[in-house]
Amino acid sequence: MSVPESDAEPEAPSPELFDKIVNLAKRRGFVFPSAEIYGGFRSTYDYGPVGVLLLRNVKDAWWRSMVQLRHDVVGLDAAILSPPQVWEASGHLANFTDPLVDCTKCQSRWRLDKLDDPDVCPSCGARGSFTEPRAFNLMFKTHAGPVEGAGHEVYLRPETAQGMFVNFANVLNTSRKRPPFGIAQIGKSFRNEITPGNFVFRTREFEQMEMEFFVPPDEAERWYGYWCDERYRWYLDHGMPSHLLRLRPHDADELSHYSSGTSDVEFLFPWGWDELEGIANRGDYDLTQHSKHSGEKLDYFDQATGERYVPHVIEPAAGATRTAFAFLIAAYDTEEVRGEERTVLRLHHRIAPYKVAVLPLSRKDELTGPARDVFDLLAARWMVDYDETQAIGRRYRRQDEIGTPYCVTFDFESIDDGAVTVRDRDSMDQERVPIAELVDHLAQRLT
Ligand code: GAP
């Protein structure tokens, strides 16, 4: 496999950076604590006016490369609520558990497998105070209809993947695809995490971007390598620096029971290397299980060879919310400009919330009217911000802090020469561009 792995210990983003990002996220409208006016709801977050664009861009970039640009992958949007049979077949009812221990001294609750020392409570320091571990199922359970209790239980999906497996035959019969082909889905998943934390890194409600790629069994190993390469490259192509990224194959004792190979794309977070995405070779486990439990045939008949087989599955499974957070960390930069500190998010233009900001130099009607026309011209094509408050320097700084690649300023000269100033976020270079050429000028830079 040609994917490079980093062995040298690169410089990790600092813990102070973590606090700066959390602060910036709130201050600039990326992420707000959920239900904040009621004191917040632990480890649950809302995406604000800028954050919703960032998250959407991450998902769009994934969809573009995984579905739009490929002839062998189709999309799906399956239901979030699902009956117990799905989770019985998938193994989640029996196995989707974390080992939970309680400290009998201070009543704090921990995931045993995440403790540095399994005998010492990190909260009160007591030794040997933990209860016996209990298997805690991470799925959120609710009930459908007015009657609670047995027979009415439904689950919020803990992953989007099962929606693709249970729809395998529907998609095969309607999409005119044959293995190797994939089904992709983006959507919310829910896990009752015992220890959520690190801001939006681990939350109970989050978004996933998953693709199930169905292949003839003897091609599984080759496709597994292919998807590891593809997915690693996707992060680099969208501006992640290679020293903050690595592909880590799982050791044999880390593998899920159904997986014959898994590699994680990991990012160097301020607390160390941690997972952004897992790429797994799941064999025929999922289709076989759902076939057994549903009684439906979930296989493929190859008319060319006369062979019938259960396809094997290669699954690249990424987190959208987690990846958006990693992009923020990777893009954050500060530098000194004329004796003042400038904070700038050097986001790839495809990930940046706004592509352009239109800024009339002053609030006078003679400038704001035509500046709004420039906004209309550009907004038909890109997500554009419009801001006429404060001095121009402060407006540039605000756009730098939310990662806007280009600012377009309409000034008094613009009225006479029909041109505007285009400022580049990274170099801060400015150039004069005729409004008639503005769309082409930006399009060349925002492809
Ligand atoms: N279908 C396989 C699957 O769901 P996973 O490793 O459990 O695999 C895939 O999840 C990705 O979803 C993770 O790599 C991570 O990016 C994201 N993810 C999982 N749990 C999460 C959580 N509690 N909060 C935020 N993202 C999460």
Higher-confidence residue: 10 or 446?
Answer: 446
Q: Is the pLDDT of residue 372 over 90?
A: yes
Query: Is there an atom of ligand 1 within 6 Å of 321 CB?
Result: yes
- Average pLDDT across the chain, whole number: 95
How much is the pLDDT for 6? Answer: 46
Closest CA to 420 of 344, 358, 337: 358
Over residues 318-356, the pLDDT tens digits come to: 999 999 999 999 999 999 999 999 999 999 999 999 999
Query: Is there an atom of ligand 1 within 6 Å of 266 CB?
Result: no
Atom of ligand 1 nearest to the CA of 159: 4
**pLDDT (average), residues 3-11:** 53
For residue 10, what pLDDT band results from cuts at 50, 70 and 90? low
How much is the pLDDT for 42? Answer: 84
Residue 214 carries which DSSP code? E
The 3-state DSSP class for residue 293 equals helix
Backbone phi and psi for residue 26, each to the nearest 5 degrees, phi listed first: -75, -45
Atom of ligand 1 nearest to the CA of 161: 1
**pLDDT (average), residues 197-201:** 94
**What's the half-sphere exposure (Cβ side, CA atoms, 13 Å) at 1?**
20
Ligand 1 pocket mutation, candidates 231, 275, 289, 323, criterion most atoms within 8 A of CB: 275
Over residues 386-414, the pLDDT tens digits come to: 999 999 999 999 999 999 999 999 999 99
**What's the half-sphere exposure (Cβ side, CA atoms, 13 Å) at 350?**
16
With contact defined as beta carbons under 8 Å apart, do 371 and 359 qualify? yes
In sequence order, what are the residues at sequence separation of 6 or more whose Cβ sits closer than 8 angstroms to the Cβ of residue 394? none
With contact defined as beta carbons under 8 Å apart, do 100 and 131 qualify? no
Query: Is there an atom of ligand 1 within 6 Å of 208 CB?
Result: yes
pLDDT above 70: percentage of residues in the chain? 98
Extract the runs of DSSP E, i.e. beta strands, from 252-330. Answer: 261-269, 272-283, 300-302, 307-309, 312-319
How much is the pLDDT for 146? Answer: 83
Task: Give CA–CA dist 191/156, Å, rounded.
Answer: 8
Q: pTM above 0.85?
A: yes
Q: Is the pLDDT of residue 425 over 70?
A: yes
Nearest CA owner, ligand 1 atom 18: 319
Task: Give CA–CA dist 128/192, Å, rounded.
Answer: 26
Q: Is the pLDDT of residue 139 over 70?
A: yes
Interval between CA 307 and ligand 1 midpoint (Å): 35
Amino acid at 184: A
Task: Give CA–CA dist 244/225, Å, rounded.
Answer: 21
Q: Is the pLDDT of residue 2 over 70?
A: no
Burial of 26: CB neighbours in 10 Å, binned 0-12, 13-18, 19+? middle
Task: Give CA–CA dist 287/299, Å, rounded.
Answer: 8
Residue 66 carries which DSSP code? I
Closest CA to 222 of 312, 304, 317, 303: 312
Over residues 59-85, the pLDDT tens digits come to: 999 999 999 999 999 999 999 999 999
